Amino acid sequence: MTAPAADLTGWAAAPFTAGGHTHDVYRRGTGPGVVLIPEIPGIHPGVLALGNHLVDNGFTVAMPSLFGVPGKDVTVGYTAATIARACVAREFAAFATNKARPVSLFLRALARDLNASTPGKGVGVIGQCFTGGFALAAAVDDSVLAPVLSQPSVPLPLGRTRRSDTGLSASEMSTIVDRTTNDGLCAMGLRFSEDWMSPRERFTALKERLGDAFEVIEIDSRPGNEHGFAKAAHSVLTDEVREIDGHPAYEARKRVVEFLTARLT
């Protein structure tokens, strides 16, 4: 069995401008809003399948195309080229620590726009891999009630300081902590246990700041693990999902849907 995959059928795209940047945003569905931020190399068939799954579970999904070619299959060369471009883009500040990333302004505005056009108490934001931490940064805005950080990898974990960096500025983190204390904000984080790109130290730092408001799902990818995950297993909600009851990534995807449903409806 392979990971779910889909194409662009049913998705409508339109440009959206905020924070000095314009990106096409693909939308589909009815119900409470979820901003689904693609992982590197972009809105690939696995990300589209995740978007369709959220739509099938009653959400309106908005996917901003921040990089890559929407619908294009993943290849090694395509991924490497996209990483190279994203890493030097000022919008993402891939290596900076304690940094407010410009893309966060765009995502907060998109969340507000989606919230204004959908039912529910607010919106969810799912970030993955390169964009994982952007979901929490988006929650500086009051419209975001359910940020999900799937294998957050920025800042790229080169050196001890970057491995434990939360991906937010001190001011952004202060706002998030205040929201968890006073507004009941909750967040989710997902990673594989041996994933060096999304280091455990980052989750430890987030847990220290957010406490019980940060729910962590860590899937065992140690050698000899029960479900046969490779040590390099990375994409919890896309590449590693097998739609079999009891499969850890499948169960994690179920839990994300439960979390979004509870928070937004």
pLDDT single digits (tens) 185-229: 999 999 999 999 999 999 999 999 999 999 999 999 999 999 999
pLDDT single digits (tens) 40-96: 999 999 999 999 999 999 999 999 999 999 999 999 999 999 999 998 888 898 888
Segments making up each domain of the chain, as ranges: 12-264
User: How far, in Å, CA of 226 to CA of 218, rounded?
Assistant: 14
With CA atoms as reference, report the closest residue to 98 among 164, 51, 37: 164
The mean pLDDT of 166-186, rounded to a whole number, is 96
Res 93: pLDDT = 86
Query: Two tokens at 252?
Result: 């994690």
Specify the CATH class of 12-264 in words.
alpha beta
Which residues are registered as beta bridge partners of 125? 35, 147
pLDDT single digits (tens) 145-155: 999 999 999 99
With CA atoms as reference, report the closest residue to 162 among 208, 97, 100: 97
Res 95: pLDDT = 85
The mean pLDDT of 100-125, rounded to a whole number, is 96
Res 94: pLDDT = 84
